[in-house]
Chain A
Amino acid sequence: MRPLRARYGLYAPAMAGLLFAGPAFAQAPLTYLTSNGPNADAIRPLTWALIAVSVIVCLIIGGLVLAGVFRRPGLALPEPGSPMEVGPEGGGLSWLWIGVGLSSVVLVASIVWTVAVLAHIARPPAKPDTHIEVTAHQWWWQVNYVADDPALDFETANEIHIPVGRPVAFKLIGGDVIHSFWVPQLAGKTDLIPGQTNEMWLEASKPGVYRGQCAEYCGIEHAHMAFVVVAQSPEDFARWRAHQLQAPPAPTGQAARGAEEFQMHCGGCHSVSGTQSGGDLGPNLSHLMQRRTLAAGMLPNDAAHLAQWISDPQNIKPGVNMQDPKLSRAELSDVLTYLVTLQ
């Protein structure tokens, strides 16, 4: 019987080493192995610790199995008529005592650390002064900023701005089916469930653009329901917020014609503040051109992609609730000219 060259005990750690190479996750926008806010920061070391425990356990057990298999020469398969040796019953219980004993210590320690992290992130570090309500729809994010004074409320979609260094309180409202709000670099997931309102908080400690994505299967275009959280200095954030409160400038010329066509073809689903377009079935487009992406994170926001999206949304995001508006080329050109003014 030829001896086995068992490489498998070394296989997993080699794979892990290879794939854990730094560059791999420096360019992964949705990884949570790096974090940029106190909520996610509290979770990250526990995550790494559990990974370390897991790797060590696998190495130990794998090593013991290999050592156990190879420490004595193997036996050949039995021949009929010649019974093989049989070891005694009993013995070996110390393996169980020691193994289970050590494991229990590690497990209880894990529970303690888990509870400690939970206690730490149960409440934000300071009282939030920015309140955002997110309502999830198939397959876009409605974002409402809510202030004490209702005159300071406004709505946007798919892009959330927050001030750096200040906790932000979120109310997560289920719209149609279950979705999940997840921006990994800042916090863990919380679902948006129809019939209830969930609450969570997060905070960014550095300025940046953080990607989020729906994390609960919600239908055909679940794969394309992303959003972006832009963390800005408090001054930039205040400026952005003030700008959002203003209605976009009144259009002239071709843009004005485009505004009329927009109201006719698009206003039933989309709103633009300060105009007659007041639909609430699709994203609010008041300051569309300020956003970095279109179609919930699918496309970069520039004129070419905007034209593609409007003329054939079903081709880009099959199943999306936006029907082809069936604009003629002239109408399309007018509407685009108008949309570009929605800064």
Chain B
Amino acid sequence: MSVSGYERAPAIADGSRPELRRHLELLWEGEGGFIGWLSTVDHKKIGIRYIVTAFAFLVIGGLEALIFRIQLAWPNTHLLTPEQYDQLFSTHGMTMIFLYAFPVLTGFSVYVWPLVIGARDLALPRLNALSYWLYLAAGIFMYAAFLVGFGPNDGWFNYVPYASRDYNGGPNMDVYALGMVLLGISTTTGAVNFVVTFLRLRCPGMSINRVPMVTWGTVTANAANIFAVPAVSLAFFELWCDRNAGTHFFTPHEGQVLLWQHLFWMFAHPWVYVIVLPAMGMVSEALPVFTRRPLVGYAAVALGTIATMVLGFGVWVHHMFATGLPPISMSFFSAASIIIVIPSAVAVFAWVATIWLGRPVFATTFLFFAGFVFLFTLAGVSGYMTASLPVDWQLTDTYFVVAHIHYVLIGINVFPVIGATYYWFPKMTGKLMDERLGRWNFWTMFLGFNLGFFPMHITGLLGMPRRIYTYADGMGWDWLNLITTLGSFVFAAGVLLFFINVVISYRRGRAAGDNPWDAPSLEWSTSSPPPPYNFAVIPTVASRYPLWEGRMPGSSRQTITQSGLVLDHGKEQIGTGPLDAQADIILKTPEDTLVPLILCLAVTAFFVGLLLHWWWLGIAGLAATGLSLVWWHWPREELGETAEPENA
């Protein structure tokens, strides 16, 4: 068998044998009960947790919007005071952009990735747990202030000087700033995890040109986060310093007001691609299933995804077009903002061609994804319009931009996410969602969304500025605002139908079986829901569409799923090379542990200490953080981190 504890030639065997499955089940099932719930490192549980939490924030952010849409339905309304309105719209933006849009995509990726790349978990399961706890902690941290009337009130973009202590003396901005830094740690740890998983944990044979599209979308976004998130964390930290330590980063004359905007948008522009590229990847992944043919232009779409993200780092000044920067330098950013449409066009035409050349299966997922292509186009063209510098000088800060961002966020994030839920819910729960209710869900959402948000293009062209708590009559905006408010409520009803469908189907849905959609990717080769170890033996893939091999004209079945590497000397996974996915190491995976949760509490305590100026709490938090990290990284024999004990 093995020569030493340091090396081993792993066995290959048939994966259907019950004693192997029982053995793996014992190794991989986590602890039960409340402690098990707190200490799990299982990506499937953590992924669902992310999704549920993100959907909760979606609902909260949506209710905030509905409240101020009532305010805006008629001119000169005073349902809300200006301060209440400002906190509502700012918190709505913060919630949707930071606490819903990316975490929901992270949740889907955390759940789906290991299954779709033939692995048993992500690369760093404890870090995965930590990422989730930090996300939850940051969300609670930021909302705790809102619930006592100290929510952010300067928009999600938080421009100085209005965000400085001179104009905003309460704790609102400090909560937002420190909360965002805390959230940034969650985002960064998640990003590291995904990139390492992508490079090292794909199953044998899944070379770089066979990586699933959902993986391309997410890894691109996460790789970008590694470089983008520090900009906003630093911006918020510098703001906190200006407000609490008297520094002069952003003070006019001494510092520079625009430094905030540069740092913020250097992060936030890439961020808007981060919150849509994974969703686009999900569409590229599942649209082929419902058109019964592989995606057109796999390489072009994958490269287009990367190109969009890279170019996305070079356009941030288009958020600052009205700030008086030299027009010559702004023209470069304007041109880049128009050029960046090209890789998106690659994706759109790939989807259109896939639909055209395929045969549609009218499942709810397909409705959402076909509708998505149209909404994506609308979002893209409104962005194209604002990319032109002189036109943006009229469009910016009007409802035209609000229309654009909502077509992007709802059309390119929410719609694919709902469609992806219909797609992967059966895998997660073993039950199908109701198709009839799904159709009602789709049409209510689609019609409500367009009824609510399409008129905003026109409201914006008629000059209605953003972020105003009311407006005078006689401006030409009255009917449009009323229609938008009505449409928003219809859209909200559609979202409610979605949640009703989730709950009903979870309780009484039809049994799904392993592969209800006859889909090609690896997650459909295991049971629904998957066993704790995902795959009894590690598959070896030979193409992009493993389960369709032999059925696509001209292909032959070469992927092997029934037998493969048996990694059962403990919780083990196989590590493979980044390009060719050749096996090169047997990896030991950690057990469930409370350390990520404890570390999260320690870090949060530090931030609470900073917020309240309770320095003793801050220092205690730091000390606890240090101790937790030492314990986490203590060299462990069962993880293969230490010298093997000498044999007697």
A→B interface (CB under 8 Å):
1, 4, 8-9, 11-12, 15-16, 19-20, 24-25, 27-33, 40, 42-43, 46-47, 50-51, 53-54, 57-58, 61-62, 64-65, 67-69, 71-78, 80, 83-93, 95-96, 98-100, 103-104, 107, 110-111, 113-115, 117-118, 121-122, 138, 172, 174, 176-178, 180, 182, 184, 187-191, 193-196, 198-199, 213-223, 298, 318-319
In the complex, the answer to whether A111 meets B335 with C-beta atoms within 8 Å is yes
In the complex, the answer to whether B257 meets A69 with C-beta atoms within 8 Å is no
In the complex, the answer to whether B467 meets A222 with C-beta atoms within 8 Å is yes
User: When chains A and B are docked, how far (Å) is the Cα of A212 from the Cα of B25?
Assistant: 69
Q: Does B640 contact A (CB under 8 A)?
A: no
Bits for B499-523, please: 1 = Cβ < 8 Å to A, else 0. Answer: 0000000000000010011101000
Which one of B110-118, B269-277, B291-299 contacts A?
B291-299
CB-CB nearest in chain B for A195 = B252
In the complex, the answer to whether A118 meets B389 with C-beta atoms within 8 Å is yes
Please name all residues of chain A whose beta carbon is closer than 8 Å to the beta carbon of B362 when the two chains form the complex: 1, 4, 74
- 19 A-B pairs besides A9-B374, A73-B359 with CB distance below 8 A are A43-B393, A69-B355, A72-B360, A75-B360, A77-B363, A87-B358, A88-B293, A92-B357, A95-B350, A96-B297, A110-B338, A111-B334, A174-B257, A178-B162, A178-B257, A196-B258, A215-B397, A217-B159, A217-B467
Q: Does B50 contact A (CB under 8 A)?
A: no
Provided the pairs A47-B391, A223-B469 are in contact, do residues A188 and B82 lie with their beta carbons within 8 angstroms?
A: no
Q: Does B609 contact A (CB under 8 A)?
A: no
CB-CB nearest in chain B for A78 = B518
Q: Does B526 contact A (CB under 8 A)?
A: no
Q: Does B56 contact A (CB under 8 A)?
A: no
Nearest first, the 3 closest Cβ-Cβ pairs linking A and B are: A188-B393, A30-B463, A87-B293
In the complex, the answer to whether B352 meets A95 with C-beta atoms within 8 Å is yes
In the complex, the answer to whether B355 meets A188 with C-beta atoms within 8 Å is no
CB of B169, distance to nearest CB on chain A (Å): 13
User: When chains A and B are docked, how far (Å) is the Cα of A47 from the Cα of B393?
Assistant: 11
Provided the pairs A75-B361, A95-B356 are in contact, do residues A25 and B349 lie with their beta carbons within 8 angstroms?
A: no
In the complex, the answer to whether B257 meets A195 with C-beta atoms within 8 Å is yes
Q: Does B437 contact A (CB under 8 A)?
A: no
In the complex, the answer to whether A78 meets B393 with C-beta atoms within 8 Å is no
Q: Does B454 contact A (CB under 8 A)?
A: yes
Please name all residues of chain A whose beta carbon is closer than 8 Å to the beta carbon of B475 when the two chains form the complex: 28-30
Provided the pairs A61-B377, A100-B349 are in contact, do residues A75 and B292 lie with their beta carbons within 8 angstroms?
A: yes
Please name all residues of chain B whose beta carbon is closer than 8 Å to the beta carbon of A73 when the two chains form the complex: 359
User: When chains A and B are docked, how far (Å) is the Cα of A27 from the Cα of B475?
Assistant: 7
Provided the pairs A87-B552, A195-B253 are in contact, do residues A103 and B341 lie with their beta carbons within 8 angstroms?
A: yes
In the complex, the answer to whether B465 meets A215 with C-beta atoms within 8 Å is yes
Provided the pairs A12-B450, A217-B155, A223-B470 are in contact, do residues A43 and B390 lie with their beta carbons within 8 angstroms?
A: yes
CB of B162, distance to nearest CB on chain A (Å): 4
Please name all residues of chain A whose beta carbon is closer than 8 Å to the beta carbon of B451 when the two chains form the complex: 15
Please name all residues of chain A whose beta carbon is closer than 8 Å to the beta carbon of B378 when the two chains form the complex: 12, 58
User: When chains A and B are docked, how far (Å) is the Cα of A12 from the Cα of B370?
Assistant: 16
In the complex, the answer to whether A84 meets B377 with C-beta atoms within 8 Å is no
Q: Does B560 contact A (CB under 8 A)?
A: no
User: When chains A and B are docked, how far (Å) is the Cα of A93 from the Cα of B331?
Assistant: 33
B→A interface (CB under 8 Å):
81-83, 86, 154-155, 159, 161-162, 167, 252-253, 255-258, 291-294, 296-297, 300, 322-324, 327, 331, 334-335, 338-339, 341-342, 345-346, 348-350, 352-363, 370-371, 373-374, 377-378, 381-382, 384-385, 388-398, 435, 446-447, 450-451, 454-455, 458, 461-472, 474-477, 480, 513, 516-518, 520, 544-545, 548, 551-555
Number of A-B contacts (CB under 8 A): 333
CB of B164, distance to nearest CB on chain A (Å): 9
Please name all residues of chain B whose beta carbon is closer than 8 Å to the beta carbon of A219 when the two chains form the complex: 162, 167
User: When chains A and B are docked, how far (Å) is the Cα of A32 from the Cα of B257?
Assistant: 29
In the complex, the answer to whether A88 meets B356 with C-beta atoms within 8 Å is no
Specify which of A32, A54, A222 is in contact with B463 (CB 8 Å cutoff).
Answer: A32
User: When chains A and B are docked, how far (Å) is the Cα of A180 from the Cα of B323?
Assistant: 9
In the complex, the answer to whether B297 meets A58 with C-beta atoms within 8 Å is no
Residue of A15, A189, A220 ringed by the most chain B CB atoms within 10 A = A189
In the complex, the answer to whether A114 meets B476 with C-beta atoms within 8 Å is no
Please name all residues of chain B whose beta carbon is closer than 8 Å to the beta carbon of A68 when the two chains form the complex: 352, 355-356, 360
CB of B156, distance to nearest CB on chain A (Å): 11
In the complex, the answer to whether B394 meets A217 with C-beta atoms within 8 Å is no
In the complex, the answer to whether A64 meets B352 with C-beta atoms within 8 Å is yes
User: When chains A and B are docked, how far (Å) is the Cα of A305 from the Cα of B339?
Assistant: 52
Please name all residues of chain B whose beta carbon is closer than 8 Å to the beta carbon of A174 when the two chains form the complex: 252, 257
CB-CB nearest in chain B for A112 = B335
User: When chains A and B are docked, how far (Å) is the Cα of A110 from the Cα of B384?
Assistant: 9
Please name all residues of chain A whose beta carbon is closer than 8 Å to the beta carbon of B554 when the two chains form the complex: 88-89
Provided the pairs A75-B360, A95-B352, A189-B322 are in contact, do residues A114 and B394 lie with their beta carbons within 8 angstroms?
A: no
In the complex, the answer to whether A88 meets B553 with C-beta atoms within 8 Å is yes
Provided the pairs A30-B462, A96-B349, A220-B86 are in contact, do residues A84 and B292 lie with their beta carbons within 8 angstroms?
A: yes
Provided the pairs A65-B373, A96-B300, A188-B393 are in contact, do residues A86 and B167 lie with their beta carbons within 8 angstroms?
A: no
User: When chains A and B are docked, how far (Å) is the Cα of A123 from the Cα of B442?
Assistant: 51
In the complex, the answer to whether B334 meets A86 with C-beta atoms within 8 Å is no
CB of B521, distance to nearest CB on chain A (Å): 13
CB of A80, distance to nearest CB on chain B (Å): 5
User: When chains A and B are docked, how far (Å) is the Cα of A115 from the Cα of B333?
Assistant: 12
User: When chains A and B are docked, how far (Å) is the Cα of A46 from the Cα of B388?
Assistant: 9
Please name all residues of chain B whose beta carbon is closer than 8 Å to the beta carbon of A180 when the two chains form the complex: 322, 397
User: When chains A and B are docked, how far (Å) is the Cα of A270 from the Cα of B355?
Assistant: 67
CB of A84, distance to nearest CB on chain B (Å): 5
Please name all residues of chain B whose beta carbon is closer than 8 Å to the beta carbon of A31 when the two chains form the complex: 461-463, 476
Please name all residues of chain A whose beta carbon is closer than 8 Å to the beta carbon of B462 when the two chains form the complex: 24-25, 28, 30-31, 33
Please name all residues of chain A whose beta carbon is closer than 8 Å to the beta carbon of B154 when the two chains form the complex: 217
A-B contact pairs, 8 of them (CB 8 A): A28-B477, A62-B377, A115-B331, A188-B394, A191-B323, A194-B161, A194-B252, A213-B465
CB of B488, distance to nearest CB on chain A (Å): 15
User: When chains A and B are docked, how far (Å) is the Cα of A161 from the Cα of B338?
Assistant: 37
User: When chains A and B are docked, how far (Å) is the Cα of A270 from the Cα of B331?
Assistant: 42
Please name all residues of chain B whose beta carbon is closer than 8 Å to the beta carbon of A53 when the two chains form the complex: 381, 384
CB-CB nearest in chain B for A57 = B381
User: When chains A and B are docked, how far (Å) is the Cα of A51 from the Cα of B338?
Assistant: 15
User: When chains A and B are docked, how far (Å) is the Cα of A96 from the Cα of B255?
Assistant: 48
Specify which of B353, B465, B468 is in contact with A95 (CB 8 Å cutoff).
Answer: B353
CB of B526, distance to nearest CB on chain A (Å): 16
CB of B321, distance to nearest CB on chain A (Å): 9
CB-CB nearest in chain B for A23 = B476
CB of A134, distance to nearest CB on chain B (Å): 13
Please name all residues of chain B whose beta carbon is closer than 8 Å to the beta carbon of A92 when the two chains form the complex: 296-297, 350, 353-354, 356-357
CB of B298, distance to nearest CB on chain A (Å): 8
Please name all residues of chain A whose beta carbon is closer than 8 Å to the beta carbon of B392 when the two chains form the complex: 188
Please name all residues of chain B whose beta carbon is closer than 8 Å to the beta carbon of A220 when the two chains form the complex: 82-83, 86
In the complex, the answer to whether A91 meets B322 with C-beta atoms within 8 Å is no
Please name all residues of chain A whose beta carbon is closer than 8 Å to the beta carbon of B548 when the two chains form the complex: 86
Specify which of A24, A57, A89 is in contact with B545 (CB 8 Å cutoff).
Answer: A89
In the complex, the answer to whether A61 meets B450 with C-beta atoms within 8 Å is no
Please name all residues of chain B whose beta carbon is closer than 8 Å to the beta carbon of A221 when the two chains form the complex: 82
In the complex, the answer to whether A57 meets B377 with C-beta atoms within 8 Å is yes
Please name all residues of chain A whose beta carbon is closer than 8 Å to the beta carbon of B83 when the two chains form the complex: 220, 319
In the complex, the answer to whether B361 meets A103 with C-beta atoms within 8 Å is no
CB of B33, distance to nearest CB on chain A (Å): 35
Please name all residues of chain B whose beta carbon is closer than 8 Å to the beta carbon of A216 when the two chains form the complex: 159, 322, 397
Specify which of B82, B257, B346, B471 is in contact with A194 (CB 8 Å cutoff).
Answer: B257
In the complex, the answer to whether A214 meets B465 with C-beta atoms within 8 Å is yes
In the complex, the answer to whether A87 meets B357 with C-beta atoms within 8 Å is yes
CB of A341, distance to nearest CB on chain B (Å): 29
Please name all residues of chain A whose beta carbon is closer than 8 Å to the beta carbon of B81 when the two chains form the complex: 318
